Amino acid sequence: MRVLVWNEFRHEKSKPEVAEIYPDGIHGAIADFLQSEQIEVRTATLDEAEHGLTEEVLNQTDVLLWWGHVAHDEVRDEIVAKVHKRVLEGMGLIVLHSGHFSKIFKQLMGTTCDLKWRVADEKERLWVIDPSHPIVEGIGEYIELEKEEMYGEHFDIPAPDQLLFVSWFEGGEVFRSGCTYQRGKGRIFYFRPGHESYPTYHNSQIQRVIKNAVKWVKPESGMMTNYGRSEPLETISDKELK
Amino acid sequence: MRVLVWNEFRHEKSKPEVAEIYPDGIHGAIADFLQSEQIEVRTATLDEAEHGLTEEVLNQTDVLLWWGHVAHDEVRDEIVAKVHKRVLEGMGLIVLHSGHFSKIFKQLMGTTCDLKWRVADEKERLWVIDPSHPIVEGIGEYIELEKEEMYGEHFDIPAPDQLLFVSWFEGGEVFRSGCTYQRGKGRIFYFRPGHESYPTYHNSQIQRVIKNAVKWVKPESGMMTNYGRSEPLETISDKELK
Amino acid sequence: MRVLVWNEFRHEKSKPEVAEIYPDGIHGAIADFLQSEQIEVRTATLDEAEHGLTEEVLNQTDVLLWWGHVAHDEVRDEIVAKVHKRVLEGMGLIVLHSGHFSKIFKQLMGTTCDLKWRVADEKERLWVIDPSHPIVEGIGEYIELEKEEMYGEHFDIPAPDQLLFVSWFEGGEVFRSGCTYQRGKGRIFYFRPGHESYPTYHNSQIQRVIKNAVKWVKPESGMMTNYGRSEPLETISDKELK
Amino acid sequence: MRVLVWNEFRHEKSKPEVAEIYPDGIHGAIADFLQSEQIEVRTATLDEAEHGLTEEVLNQTDVLLWWGHVAHDEVRDEIVAKVHKRVLEGMGLIVLHSGHFSKIFKQLMGTTCDLKWRVADEKERLWVIDPSHPIVEGIGEYIELEKEEMYGEHFDIPAPDQLLFVSWFEGGEVFRSGCTYQRGKGRIFYFRPGHESYPTYHNSQIQRVIKNAVKWVKPESGMMTNYGRSEPLETISDKELK
């Protein structure tokens, strides 16, 4: 399986406290724990040519992970269109944290994807809502994060196909933190945690969820569809309108 | 309630056989049967200024019906953006037949909305799948149309929130013909039948479904959401990361 | 509309602190705020003959509300079967709080309906997840209850058709507190709050949700289904198996 | 993986024309094509002691397939209760054809599971609705069966979690022929075709679907839930009701 971790990669360059947590970038941290014998991981970032998302790269990608925050608008529309096309063709997509406001996620959802937020060093507890889903395998009842950014309802998304996590926040809010969607032939998983100023992607349970999700969103083989004008499969009677 | 029926209104001008069936345009036929004491109906068409969809008109619309076919590309993106915004704010939307390929429907769905099709004067039978849904009230077990265009699966849409009709076609195909979606605060109903060369919108059961749907997609009063930075509702403890 | 409020009515008789909050029983309190010009409300309780749920009473009921807790097992199976039949025929059902473990709810869900719980005078905040649903009309962003029993995930129910509320609890848990289901021709709403030792049903927002829900679960008119052996609607060809 | 194929096994004994198609019983035919290096297949039938479904057998079963028709009522309630418990604990269940009226399926669904039917040697075409689902892997756009029993809508089931197939019938009906459900920790797949008087289970595409389904419904490892009274995870403040 070929996985591509895409990161905006701006905070790590401009904020020393982020660079300290993620010296190789958020993409580097994620690539590091995903790499295995079964999974070939590459990374791409916003400031590379074509954001590192050439058609060739996309065509060789089974699963794409997406982290962005301050520079969603700098992602070029024609690149987003290529990613969108690939998802509908079957490429799996995992949208992380502030990626909820990325062009690609909004285009796939059709809604504003807006939410409440607050950065206040508060506790988050992600409760498992669907304990037998492959994405939560090995997680137990909940994941506790000592400090995270808060995201609160209402989250303006289509009702998820499957709701896997709901977060409890110390400051009093809740949030649908793990959501799956099918769009075209592609599977999508949105996973809430991962603010750049906290070491969330170093948490082993968070890593487990992302590893499980990579396996779950990967495309099936042997998918087939035909569209457009079609010859009838049965004889159509000659008739007069009554 | 204020209803706006939007029609591309091209076939009626270029094809005499369509004008014969719909002398006042498809929009005229639909407006005609929707008009009532409770419902104020207006119409708008592609070739009007701003396609008849000015901000003022949209702001005064509770429910929008959309019929388009050959000129989807001529609908200007900034108008589509305004319609999209209004749906997410709560305006109900009913997408009819070939409107499946309209910009507004594709933007709300996030998928290609592609399908199979064939014009062969064949019989369609729309079976009710959800007999207690308000949109099928008074319809009975199925609607039979002596001649219609065929639309066949696979229909590339997100799984509908509610599946109300599945069509049987004489030529051997099936189709999810009545689908509801919630997007933002807006309710959406996609309803398949209505090819321009058949008198489908003169059928009393089809009219009944559309009347029911207008009532069902209309916005609720008293909807409320807040987004953006939020103060905590509970005290957040001072703490050190363990 | 004819509404029937069913209550186990045991706590109110055995515990003075409950009787103080609900001197006319929980059913009395609910009947009181539901009664209106449009709604005729009756009540029924466990210790009445046939639990107050004779076939005649059920046949004259459009919407049934159900509160039970310590005596689920005393509800006779043949009465449950009659209620079940009526729900599948279209009678609306609102299951309140500890009714999650009632025979009728478990039979309709097909699962254990188990959950976590704790009575600790803790704060509950019910966040609205689906702000445009008729059941949350007029509620705003959330309902806050100063003291309630905690119910926590995992809640062993089928994924709800629509998820309307998620609760935040002071002690650290979350819960799917407002869930809708369609079963047969009947609509079902499960609504979590309402422990007998707290004045929850005197809260005006809780009353608003229940009033909205009564309107939403009430049966449609003109529903129609046929089952069993059916004559073909089209000619079936004579053929030999290839 | 340990798979158990359960069959009523009555038609094969009483009707020579069925015995001719399935000389080893429907269970024998299914077991035959499921058997592989990865899958250990056993069978059980109604007339064995405890219907072949002892607690020991059930505890050693990962996936159960169920075919029944004329003798649903002879399946003892206490055995059904054991199967139900095992499904909620995670055992996968595949319900075949007339199993729609089995006690176990009705108990899991909570509805009547009624439908229309007709045996008239008519053509069925099962259209794939969800082309990227693992259960339809390798199937193409549809499966065509020259002769089958007709099942028609309305099918009185809860809306499926995922709708995989819709059937077209020569006589004019449609049917939701492939439906998935999650109940407790167990996955369920209902698959329509398989009337005893037709060689449906000898069809290689039907076999492919059933093989795919066995893999899809099998339980995940590492599922975990806790229910009942729970200590708080956060400090609950002392407070007075306002």
Whether residues D159 and B154 touch (CB distance < 8 A) is answered with no
Is the pLDDT at A80 greater than 60, yes or no? yes
Contacts of D93 in chain C (CB under 8 A): none
Distance from CA of C137 to the nearest CA of B (A): 6
Mutant choice from B20, B202, B230 vs A, greatest count of A C-beta within 10 A: B230
Give the number of other CB atoms < 10 A from CB of residue D171.
19
Contacts of A170 in chain B (CB under 8 A): 232, 234, 236-237
pLDDT, residue A146, reads 97
As a whole number, mean pLDDT of residues D116-129 equals 97
Whether residues A172 and C128 touch (CB distance < 8 A) is answered with no
The C-alpha atoms of residue B242 and residue B239 are separated, in whole angstroms, by 9
Distance from CA of A179 to the nearest CA of B (A): 14
Whether residues C173 and A168 touch (CB distance < 8 A) is answered with yes
**Spatial contact of B163 and B129, defined as CB atoms under 8 Å apart:** yes
CA D13 to chain centre: 23
Tokens of A240: 């007069």
The C-alpha atoms of residue B167 and residue D153 are separated, in whole angstroms, by 11
Distance from CA of D186 to the nearest CA of A (A): 8
Contacts of C133 in chain B (CB under 8 A): 220
pLDDT digits (tens, 9 = 90+) for D158-187: 999 999 999 999 999 999 999 999 999 999
Whether residues D140 and A185 touch (CB distance < 8 A) is answered with no
Whether residues B130 and C182 touch (CB distance < 8 A) is answered with yes
As a whole number, mean pLDDT of residues B124-138 equals 97
As a whole number, mean pLDDT of residues D17-32 equals 98
Whether residues A88 and B111 touch (CB distance < 8 A) is answered with yes
The C-alpha atoms of residue B220 and residue B91 are separated, in whole angstroms, by 9
Query: For chain C, give me the number of helices (H) and strands (E)?
Result: 7, 10
pLDDT digits (tens, 9 = 90+) for A162-219: 999 999 999 999 999 999 999 999 999 999 999 999 999 999 999 999 999 999 999 9
Nearest CA in chain B to C227: B141
Burial A209-226 (b: 16+ CB within 10 A, else e): bbbbbbebbbbbeebebe
3-state secondary structure of C188: strand
Helix ranges (DSSP H) in chain D: 11-14, 16-21, 25-34, 55-59, 77-89, 103-109, 204-217
Is the pLDDT at C210 greater than 80, yes or no? yes
Query: For chain B, give me the number of helices (H) and strands (E)?
Result: 7, 10
Q: How far is CA A69 from CA A54, A93, A163, A195, B15, in A?
A: 21, 17, 24, 9, 51
Give the number of other CB atoms < 10 A from CB of residue D14.
9
DSSP character string of A83-133: HHHHHHHT-EEEEEGGGGGSHHHHHHH-S----EEEEEEEEEEEEES-TTS
Contacts of B141 in chain C (CB under 8 A): 224-226
| Lowest mean pLDDT segment, chosen from B139-143, B221-225, C182-186, D211-215 | B221-225
Subunits in contact with chain B (3 or more CB pairs closer than 8 Å)? A, C, D
Name which residue leads in pLDDT, D240 or B125: B125
Pairing of strands C63-67, C92-96: parallel
User: Sorting pLDDT into bands at 50, 70 and 90, what band is C224?
Assistant: confident
Distance from CA of C102 to the nearest CA of B (A): 25
**What radius of gyration, in Å, describes the C-alpha atoms of chain C?**
20
pLDDT digits (tens, 9 = 90+) for C90-126: 999 999 999 999 999 999 999 999 999 999 999 999 9
As a whole number, mean pLDDT of residues A235-240 equals 79
Whether residues B109 and A111 touch (CB distance < 8 A) is answered with no
Contacts of B107 in chain A (CB under 8 A): 107, 110
Chain C residues whose C-beta is within 8 A of a chain A C-beta are 125, 127-131, 141, 152-154, 159, 162-163, 166-169, 172-174, 176
Residue of C146, C161, C236 with shortest CB distance to D239 = C146
Contacts of C85 (CB under 8 A, 6+ apart): none
Domains in chain D and their CATH numbers? 2-110+177-222 (3.40.50.880)
Give the number of other CB atoms < 10 A from CB of residue D78.
7
- Nearest to B56, CA basis, from B86, B84, B35, B81: B86
Residue of D125, D131, D223 with shortest CB distance to A185 = D131
Whether residues D173 and B176 touch (CB distance < 8 A) is answered with no
Tokens of D17: 């024309």
Q: How far is CA A226 from CA A33, A90, B110, B158, D178, in A?
A: 38, 15, 19, 17, 20
Query: Where are the strands (E) in B73-141, listed by range?
Result: 92-96, 116-128
Whether residues A131 and D225 touch (CB distance < 8 A) is answered with yes
Whether residues C172 and A125 touch (CB distance < 8 A) is answered with yes
Pairing of strands C142-152, C92-96: unpaired
The C-alpha atoms of residue D242 and residue D226 are separated, in whole angstroms, by 33
User: Sorting pLDDT into bands at 50, 70 and 90, what band is A238?
Assistant: confident
Whether residues B147 and A239 touch (CB distance < 8 A) is answered with yes
Whether residues D242 and C147 touch (CB distance < 8 A) is answered with no
Element (H, E) at C94: strand C92-96
pLDDT, residue B164, reads 98
As a whole number, mean pLDDT of residues A109-115 equals 98
Name the CA dihedral angle for C68, C73, C76, C82, rounded to a multiple of 10 degrees. Answer: 50
Nearest CA in chain C to B136: C223
Q: How far is CA D56 from CA C200, D6, D76, D221, in A?
A: 47, 15, 17, 20
Environment class of C9 (CB within 10 Å of its CB; exposed 0-12, middle 13-18, buried 19+): buried
User: Sorting pLDDT into bands at 50, 70 and 90, what band is B237?
Assistant: confident
The C-alpha atoms of residue B82 and residue B30 are separated, in whole angstroms, by 23
- Nearest to B91, CA basis, from B210, B226, B214, B207: B214
3-state secondary structure of B25: helix
**What radius of gyration, in Å, describes the C-alpha atoms of chain B?**
20
Environment class of C68 (CB within 10 Å of its CB; exposed 0-12, middle 13-18, buried 19+): buried
Name the CA dihedral angle for B69, B75, B81, B87, rounded to a multiple of 10 degrees. Answer: -40
Print the SS3 string covering A213-231: HHHHHCCCCCCCCCCEECC
CA A112 to chain centre: 16
Tokens of B43: 């119409």
The C-alpha atoms of residue C210 and residue C194 are separated, in whole angstroms, by 11
Nearest CA in chain D to C155: D227
**Spatial contact of D165 and D177, defined as CB atoms under 8 Å apart:** yes
Whether residues C184 and D111 touch (CB distance < 8 A) is answered with yes
As a whole number, mean pLDDT of residues D61-90 equals 98
3-state secondary structure of C200: helix
pLDDT, residue B11, reads 97
pLDDT, residue A242, reads 43
Tokens of D219: 């339980």
Whether residues B170 and A232 touch (CB distance < 8 A) is answered with yes
pLDDT, residue B222, reads 80
User: Sorting pLDDT into bands at 50, 70 and 90, what band is A113?
Assistant: very high
Q: Give, to the nearest 10 degrees, the angle between helix B204-217 and helix B25-34.
A: 70
As a whole number, mean pLDDT of residues C153-157 equals 98
pLDDT, residue C240, reads 56
User: Sorting pLDDT into bands at 50, 70 and 90, what band is A240?
Assistant: low
Chain A residues whose C-beta is within 8 A of a chain C C-beta are 125, 127-131, 141, 152-154, 159, 162-163, 166-169, 172-174, 176
DSSP character string of C99-135: GGGSHHHHHHH-S----EEEEEEEEEEEEES-TTSGG
**Spatial contact of B195 and B149, defined as CB atoms under 8 Å apart:** yes
pLDDT digits (tens, 9 = 90+) for A125-166: 999 999 999 999 999 999 999 999 999 999 999 999 999 999
Is the pLDDT at D240 greater than 60, yes or no? no
The C-alpha atoms of residue A128 and residue D225 are separated, in whole angstroms, by 9
Contacts of D227 in chain A (CB under 8 A): none
Contacts of B112 in chain A (CB under 8 A): 88, 184, 227
User: Sorting pLDDT into bands at 50, 70 and 90, what band is C225?
Assistant: very high
Longest dimension (CA), chain A: 78
Give the number of other CB atoms < 10 A from CB of residue C145.
21
User: Sorting pLDDT into bands at 50, 70 and 90, what band is D30?
Assistant: very high
The complex's ipTM? 0.95
Query: Where are the strands (E) in B68-227, listed by range?
Result: 92-96, 116-128, 142-152, 162-169, 174-183, 186-191
pLDDT, residue A11, reads 97
Chain D residues whose C-beta is within 8 A of a chain B C-beta are 125, 127-131, 141, 152-154, 159, 162-163, 166-169, 172-174, 176
pLDDT, residue B240, reads 56
Tokens of A134: 């492959």
Contacts of D91 in chain C (CB under 8 A): none
The C-alpha atoms of residue A144 and residue C183 are separated, in whole angstroms, by 36
Nearest CA in chain C to D162: C159
Name the CA dihedral angle for C168, C172, C173, C174, rounded to a multiple of 10 degrees. Answer: 30
Reported for D137-141, long-range contacts at CB under 8 A and 24+ positions apart, including other chains, are D137/A220, D137/A221, D137/A222, D137/A223, D137/D208, D137/D212, D138/A221, D138/A222, D138/D208, D138/D212, D139/A222, D139/D205, D139/D208, D139/D209, D140/A224, D140/D205, D141/A224, D141/A225, D141/A226, D141/B154
